[in-house]
Structure 1
Amino acid sequence: MIHRQFSILLMLHEFLTSLTTPCPTHLRALGYLYEAIALRGRYRRNRAAWQPHLDNSRRFVLAAAERCSDKGNIVILGSGLLLDVPLAELSALFREVVLMDVICLPEVRRQIRKYDNVHFVEHDATNIAERLYWNGQERISELPEPAPDTSVIDQNSGLVVSLNILSQLWVVPRAYAANHLRALTEDQVEEWCGRLVASHYDYLRSLPCDVCLVADHEFVKRDQAGQVISRDSTVYGLELPKPDDSWIWNIGPIGKDSRFMSKELIVGAWYFQGRNEVRRL
């Protein structure tokens, strides 16, 4: 009975969040708001298992921020729920902290308001969301090519951080394309997803400022005995240099998403100084 009441309250909370979160029509229709709320719920269910990954992400970002010589502006691409963002420390280190993502839930906005030098900018890192939405509405079986908007990054930015989004850039667009652009083949959609990932990485490497990249790049599924039953790239085989740091994210402990298997993500972290010159932390 108590569990049922809790489930009802949780559903009501999610419904209210959906109603009170500012969100453009195309982002809501694509499913970005739903995914943000679902991520919050998944974190709450797996808090203990996720914490080491979140701590490692925060630690690496903070180390990158401290090493960066230009303490003017820092941009976080993929600010999400701020679970992996050392916001207080970054606010103290930089003149301005710019958080960017497609969705900003109300509780995140409340956290941001605590800092005078932190603000949020709604931003689609792939720059395909609105075009994809309208193609679906107008039944145009065409996949928009990624074209990152370079104007959103201030020329005075000292550090740009891509935070745990590289492997997620294709998730919502792929689902929408599969449901609304059905004339396309699976291979066409999969190749396009790979281009979304590659475009973001190429964009990061083209920036004149320092860049910090934290991203999972491989998943591993294990059975109840701990034996590997499958593994594959989460970034469509994108070739990445050797990471400065690496760890395992226990994203799906056995008994949570599945009774029969667990899911791990292999996460890498990189620091790139200026244009394509790698500096090891």
Structure 2
Amino acid sequence: MILEALHFSAALAVSSLRKPREIAGSVGLWSRARRCAKAWAPHEENCQGFIEEKVGQIVERRSVAVLGSGLLRDVPLDYLAKAFQTVTLYDLVHLPSARMKVRRLGRENVSLVERDLAGGLEFLKAEGAPDLVISACLLSQMALHASDPAAVVRRHLADLLGGPWVTCLITDTGYEIRNRTGEVVGTGDLLGGEPPPPAFRAWEWTVAPFGEVTRDTETVHRVIAV
């Protein structure tokens, strides 16, 4: 709890948007990621691998925008910094741990921008459309906190997939709660009932292994990459 409190205070002090509830949520995610590092590792490797595959298909590599850069665990930051002239990381909150990762990287072509991405992506066109836009496990988080989740999902997908750039979308779409015998005891949708686009790849992400929420259940998310 002490580490979380310190992280929260530091994040609030440097945040341009100063949103305590959102910062607290990000700190909680940071704390869970530390506890569940082993269970999360395959998901993070899948995310980074898919992003690198996408980059490998691009000829023009001037700029890349990462939407929902978050903890920078599922984004191959060093790879992107070497592959593109400029890398812009967008999120509602950039925790000190993420800022430290960027600082340790020691590359001047990486920048952090705090922005509420639920408002749409028109700003990307206004600032000069990047060659690649990566939506990194962001969509379900925006839907979770929206009063109209389906509308937020529809808008993000329309903006992202309809823009003048190459797109990389990684999102969790739903979840199952399983007991120790493998029986599914609960399910849920994470996109407000909106159908996801066809996936190039898909995998499972054990977000909460046994003991994280309850001793005898685990929560597993379905993830797609487009």
Instruction: Report the TM-score when normalising by structure 1.
Output: 0.75
Whether 1:12 aligns to 2:31 is no
Q: In the alignment, which residue of structure 1 is the partner of 2:80?
A: 90
Partner of 2:107: 115
1:150 and 2:140 aligned: no
| Native 8 Å contact 2:124 2:130 kept in 1 | no
* Equivalent in 165, 168, 174 of residue 209 of structure 1: 165
Q: Distance in 1 between matches of 2:6 and 2:18?
A: 19
Q: Tell me, in whole angstroms, the C-alpha distance in 1 between the residues paired with 2:197 and 2:5.
A: 42
C-alpha distance in structure 1 between counterparts of 2:113 and 2:163, whole Å: 19
Q: 1:103 to 1:25 in 2, by over 3 A?
A: closer
**Which residue in 1 is equivalent to 2:63?**
73
TM-aligned CA deviation for residue 230 of structure 1 = 2.3
Note the 1:106-255 alignment, pairs <5 A: 106-113=96-103, 114-127=106-119, 148-153=120-125, 154-171=127-144, 173-174=145-146, 189=147, 192-255=148-211
Secondary structure at the aligned position of 1:198 is classed as: helix
How do 1:236-275 and structure 2 match up within 5 A?
A: 236-270=192-226
The aligned residue for residue 63 of structure 1 is 53
Unaligned runs of 5+ in 2: none
- Which region of structure 1 is more displaced relative to structure 2, 31-40 or 196-205? 196-205
Q: What is the CA-CA distance between 1:13 and the residue it aligns to?
A: 2.0
Number of residue pairs matched by the alignment = 221
Whole-Å separation in 2 of the counterparts to 1:25 and 1:34: 13
The SS at the match of 2:19 is helix
Distance in 1 separating the partners of 2:124 and 2:92: 13
Cα deviations by residue, 1:33-76 (Å, 9 ceiling, x for unpaired)? 00111011101111100000000000001111121121010000
Shift of residue 110, structure 1, vs aligned partner: 2.0
Deviation at residue 170 of structure 1 after TM alignment: 2.8
Residues of 1 paired with 2:17 and 2:131: CA distance?
A: 33
Amino acid at match of 2:5: F
Q: TM-score, normalised by structure 2?
A: 0.92
Task: Judge conservation of contact 2:178–2:185 (CA < 8 Å) in 1.
Answer: yes
Q: CA deviation at 1:223?
A: 1.7
- Structure 1 ranges of 4+ moved more than 4 A: none
Q: Which runs of 5+ in 1 are unaligned?
A: 1-10, 128-147, 175-188, 271-281
Identity percentage of aligned residues: 28
SS across alignment from 2:150: helix
> What is the letter of the counterpart of residue 135 of structure 2?
S
Q: Judge conservation of contact 1:66–1:93 (CA < 8 Å) in 2.
A: no
